[in-house]
Structures are given as structure tokens and as C-alpha cells.
Structure 1
Amino acid sequence: MKTILVAVASLLAMSLQVNAQQKKSGAIQFESRFDPAVMAEANGIKLNEEMLARLPKSSKVDFELLFNATNASYTKVEDTEDSNGGGGGGGFRFGAGAASRDYYYNFADHKLTAVFDLNDTTYFMENQLGKADVSFMGMGGRGPATPPVIEYVKSDETKKIVGFTCNKVIIKTTTKRKILDVEREIVDETALWYTKDLGFDFSPNPVQWTEGAVLAIESKGSSTVAKSIEFRNVSSKDVNLPKKGTVISPDAYKAKMEQRMKMMRNRQGQGGRSIMIN
């Protein structure tokens, strides 16, 4: 009887070990929603009926986080793409805005690399998780004229997201921006919901992070929320950088985007005034 009990205990221990190993890799599906009209209003821009009619309606985009014990990739989901096939940079990249980037994370040192296409060239831009770099925040590479004042407010509030108990932290950002040549102070609050139970640090928006794995980001006019999780084997090629790309620094990227915006303004000439939300 003692021999049988020892055998059962060994099998149970092996099963728990295998289960723990399996839970170190998998896929999390995220849903991101964006309403440009609400975003504009939150940034202090008053829109008339004509402007509202021109703006696109709210949209939904799906993203996938693939992770193993050391690395992760966060990319837009294509309906025709199987994340298990191919690898290294299968995400959606049509420009150089934050939403068109793939992100590759290294858990050991919080390093991340943004991968994006610009002028038929694939660029690699390195940064750190949680670092408030303007090149990761602005729309079209344009950030606020002065650095924002950021305050982090922890909350005792919790909620379950895809089976994990998540804690809430509020990021309060105060920014001075010029809107239609008038300087205004914009105060924005973003709620992050994070868990430490996954064993790694991550955020769908690399700038908006405090600790743990962020499973939801909620702000005025936009949200990104984890909808499902599946623990399974993930190939290293799905979480490693593409083989080909040109390294670019945040400062060099910012200079490129400023030049690009200057050229766009020159082409517009007297064609009207565009609305930028920085």
C-alpha cells in the first residue's frame, strides 16, 4: 500500500510540474475599441456637425499576445492568419502610428522593441516598458510641446479578467497642448487593471504600465481589454524579432516624423486646417 501511495504522489507531482510548465506559455486575445469623436472631446477639441460627419465611427481591432517564459509579441490579429504558422512579425503595420506597430517584449530587462513600416522600410525601435518616451505616445509621432505631469493613484478596487484577479491603478496625466493656436491644460485619467499571477510584466500600451501584466486599459474614447487566454506551446519564432529590419533611435524617429509633418503641411497649403490630437 505504501508503494502505491508513493507512486500516486510521484505521478501527482509530475502532473503539477507539467501543468506549471505549460502555464508559462500561451496566447491572450485582446479587444481594442476606439471612438475618435469621444477622444477629440476628451482632448478639449470642440467638433461641429460637419467635423463629426467626417470622422470615422467607433471601431474595434483585435490583438494577440503570444508569450513564453522569456519573451512575448503583441500584434494585430488578421482573420486569415494562423498565429501558429509563420512567425516573426506577422502583425498589421500600415504606417508609423502607435496602433500600427508590433511590439516584442523581453521579460528579463523590461526591454521592448517596436516594429513598424515607414517609407517601405521596416524599422526596429528599442525602449523600456513604462518609459514615457514621446515617440511611443504621440499620434503620427507628434507629442505634447512640454512633458506631461503624471500621477499614479493606486486603488483597492479589484475585478476578474479572464480568470485573474486584477488590481486597479489610475494614471492621471496633465498636459499643456496648443489646440487651434490656444494653449490649454488637458487632464486625462486612464485606468489600468493588472495582475501579478501571470509571472511576467506587460502592457498593451508600453507607456501605460506600473507593474504586473496589464489586462485592461480604459480611458475616454478608448479601451483595450483581454477577452480570453489559452495556455499552450508557443514557438520562439513567434515571439522573436523579424530577421530583417533597420534599427532607429527614438530621436531619429521623431526627427523623421517632424519632417514628414512639415511636408504634409506644405502640401496642404491653403487647403484647410487639419485637426491634430497630440
Structure 2
Amino acid sequence: MFAPLRHLRIGWRFFGSELKRYREAAGLTQQELGDVVFVSGSYVGQFEQAIRRPQLDIAQRMDTALDTGGLLARMCAELVNGSPYDAYFAPVAELEPQALTICEYAPTYVPGLLQTPEYTRATMAPRAALKTTPDVDVVLATRAERAKLLDTSEDPTLWVILHEVLLRIAVGGPAVMAAQLNHIVQRVSEHRLIVQVLPFSAGAAAAVGGMFQLMTFADAPPVVYCEAAHTGILVDEPSRVGRYQQTYDLLRAAALSPEASLDLIESAARTLTP
């Protein structure tokens, strides 16, 4: 396992144990603390078990409620800063291995879990001149670590909807893109995920923009992760998650069948092959 991730998981378990210790010392139940910091009692329990981790502002409110002298916020900030992922994506990387299902809509780029190293390098090339560009080798290592989810027959079940425009842009050139599309075909043949393509012919449905990922869990409410350029947000408010689920269901209904989608991906790969 990628060493920084193992370290972080141990760190979040320690954070949870400290949170529980301070809460019990204050004589508060999980629900009572949750009421004070504006989250549910079950969420407090998930923080304590390191199933989920709080945003920094929640950690700060818990510090105030429990009179910790800012300890929880400092621990939270340190753990986030120690992650190999961008701060906005780190919680997602922690949640993916715990998910029962991951359903993703990808309108512009192949999802990270399915990217080949060459495709990843190509997506980062336009930002090479920027001083804030992340180290390519670190990105490749973290994505390889995440992709191990697909190397077993266990959860999560992965369902991906790719916009057809994604198939038509030769990221990295014809050879790199053809290899990327064939990699997706290979993953599908291993019965580890379901892929559908949202075709241009879907009309208004094909105009839905913005990547998003739905995750469900055995012992926690579902969440949605939405991403734009250089930023992302994790959504757990039930009504908003429900609207994303409805949108995904509509996209799934408008997309080609898995069989027709695979044919289209294979055809796109052939057009790129000399």
C-alpha cells in the first residue's frame, strides 16, 4: 500500500479516538455533540470510527464545544496537508475503498480509476509550465493505488457513464488514446465494472455538464463528489444527494446499453489505430 495513505488512515483513527475521549470527558453523547456542531450524531460516530473525516470548520466547532484548545483542528489540518492528494480530493480517496457502489459521470476525461499512466501524463502536459502543477510521479502513484480497487472481485461495484465527446478527443495523440480506450474495454471484459456511453444523439441529456461521482456505503449515508478545474466538493446533504441520484438515473436511461457502448468504444479505438 502507498505508505502515505497507510499513515493517514492510522492518523484518522487516532483523531477519532481523541475526539471520543474529549466528548466523553465533556459528558456529551454523539447526538448532543452533533447538535452543537450542526451535524448528526451518527456523523460524530463515523468521525470517531474513522469511517469519515470532518471538514476543518467542523473540527474547529468541535474544538470550541469540547474546549480542546484547538487540538482537533490542528490534527485535521496536519492530516489533510500530509495527504498525497489535493485537499479537496483527499476525503474522496479515503471513501472509495469503503464504498459499496461508485457511480461516476465523466463528460470530459476518463475517470482516474480507469486511466492509463500515459493518458494521465498527457492530461497533465498542458499545465507543465505552471509552478503549481503537481509532481507527475506522485499523481501516477496515487492513481495506481486507487486503481487497485479494480484488481479484486470485492466491493465497490463501479458504474461509469462516459460522454461520447470523451471518446473523440485524442488525448496524448492517437496511440495513447487508442491504448486508453482498449484499457477500458479490457477492464469491462474482466467483469469488474459497467460502462455506458452517453451519445451525442441523446440530445438535451447529452448536454449535462460537470463530472460527479456517487458513492454508497453499507453503514453510512451516500455522498456525491463534484469536480471542476482545480477544485472539488463533497456533498452529503440528503436532498442534494437525491437530486444527483435522479440526474444519474436519467443519464443512465439516455445512455447506450453496455453492449452498444462497448462496441462504440472499440470502434473509436480502431479509428485511432494506424
- Classify the TM-score, shorter chain: under 0.3
Higher relative contact order (CA 8 A, sep 6+): 1
Higher helix share: 2
Higher strand share: 1
* Larger Cα-atom Rg: 1
User: TM-score, normalised on structure 1?
Assistant: 0.23
User: TM-score, normalised on structure 2?
Assistant: 0.23
